[in-house]
């Protein structure tokens, strides 16, 4: 089988990737965390057992996104055994949706049955402002690529998984209560993903808002789809790093977005660490 074809067979590379991790550590995580743009510093707060570069894991490709370290971190955070992706993979890096989501297969195979996924995103809801945090209630996949296309391994999950309530309802309430207790303003909304790397046009932004999106980004949906395919419980949090409003005079640059993600990072990290013990 050609290497690229192995990603249409969901188990491709999985056993080898697990073995690669197990040769370094037998640490078994409970919770998996995916850290998006500007959110990687949370990995530095993990009491590390080990750290592995993506390029050293079968089935992974090095992360090329700005500020994404491309490391798998195993250790303890807020009293929980975690495995954290310090940086993620994206369609715009020239890989398939199966490759983008493959790391979640590994995180689950290592023992994590819960996923906390994060991202930096643009706000479409005009009532919001840059610097807000958002609880993901649902998503719209506008990338045109589903990671479950191709052969389905029934050992990993069903052929036709249901995506209703893809974000765990109990976890949503935990996040709400925790944000209130920590005095953190937490918006709630629908996240829409495009493939990127170009930002959306004004007409596209208007269309996305019309169909119910509150925020827009270039990640997350493929990871959540695969997590739910495998039966993982999922919580999604976003850092609103810019306002992608069609009628504004200008759009934020990539540097603007990273700078805002860094400024909002301390509050985001505090929220995550307060939520983790309850998942």
Integer Cα distance of 3 and 266 in angstroms: 40
Mean per-residue pLDDT over the chain, rounded: 91
Looking at residue 17, its pLDDT comes to 95
Mean pLDDT over residues 7-14, rounded?
66
At which residue do the structure tokens 């990993």 appear?
156
What pLDDT is stored for residue 170 in this prediction? Answer: 98
Q: pLDDT tens-digit profile of 20-64?
A: 999 999 999 999 999 986 677 888 899 999 999 999 999 998 777
Where residue 230 falls among pLDDT bands split at 50, 70, 90?
A: very high
Segment 226-240 shows an average pLDDT of 97
Report for 4-8, 64-68, 168-172: range of highest mean pLDDT: 168-172
Instruction: Give the length of the chain.
Output: 279
Confidence (pTM): 0.93
Query: Which residues neighbour 200 within 8 Å (Cβ) at sequence distance 6 or greater?
Result: 194, 208, 216, 244
Give the per-residue pLDDT at 96. 94
Model confidence pLDDT, tens digit, residues 76-103: 999 999 999 998 999 999 999 999 999 9
Residue 67 has a pLDDT of 62
- Per-residue pLDDT, 1: 46
Integer Cα distance of 34 and 100 in angstroms: 12
- Position 2 scores a pLDDT of 45
Looking at residue 126, its pLDDT comes to 95
**In whole angstroms, what is the distance from residue 238 CA to residue 192 CA?**
11
pLDDT tens for 255-276 read 766 666 667 678 999 999 999 9
């Amino acid at each position: 089988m050609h290497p690229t074809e192995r990603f249409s067979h969901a188990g491709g590379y999985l056993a080898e990737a697990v073995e690669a991790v197990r040769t370094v550590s037998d640490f078994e995580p409970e919770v998996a965390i995916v850290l998006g743009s500007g959110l990687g510093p949370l990995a530095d707060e993990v009491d590390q057992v080990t750290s592995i570069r993506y390029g050293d894991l079968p089935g992974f490709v090095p992360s090329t996104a700005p500020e994404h370290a491309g490391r798998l971190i195993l250790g303890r955070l807020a009293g929980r055994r975690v495995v954290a992706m310090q940086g993620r993979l994206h369609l715009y890096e020239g890989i398939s949706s199966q490759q983008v989501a493959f790391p979640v297969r590994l995180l689950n195979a290592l023992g994590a049955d819960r996923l906390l996924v994060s991202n930096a995103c643009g706000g479409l809801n005009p009532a919001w402002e840059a610097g807000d945090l958002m609880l993901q209630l649902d998503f719209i996949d506008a990338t045109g690529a589903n990671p479950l296309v191709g052969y389905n391994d029934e050992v990993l999950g069903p052929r036709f998984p249901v995506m209703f309530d893809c974000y765990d309802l109990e976890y949503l309430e935990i996040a709400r209560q925790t944000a209130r207790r920590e005095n953190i303003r937490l918006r709630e909304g629908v996240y829409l993903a495009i493939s990127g790397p170009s930002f959306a046009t004004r007409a596209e932004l208007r269309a996305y808002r019309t169909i119910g999106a509150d925020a827009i980004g270039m990640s997350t949906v493929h990871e959540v789809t695969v997590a739910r395919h495998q039966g993982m419980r999922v919580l999604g949090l976003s850092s609103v790093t810019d306002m992608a409003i069609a009628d504004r005079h200008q759009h934020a640059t990539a540097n603007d977005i990273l700078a805002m993600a860094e400024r909002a990072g301390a509050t985001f990290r505090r929220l995550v660490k307060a939520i983790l013990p309850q998942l």
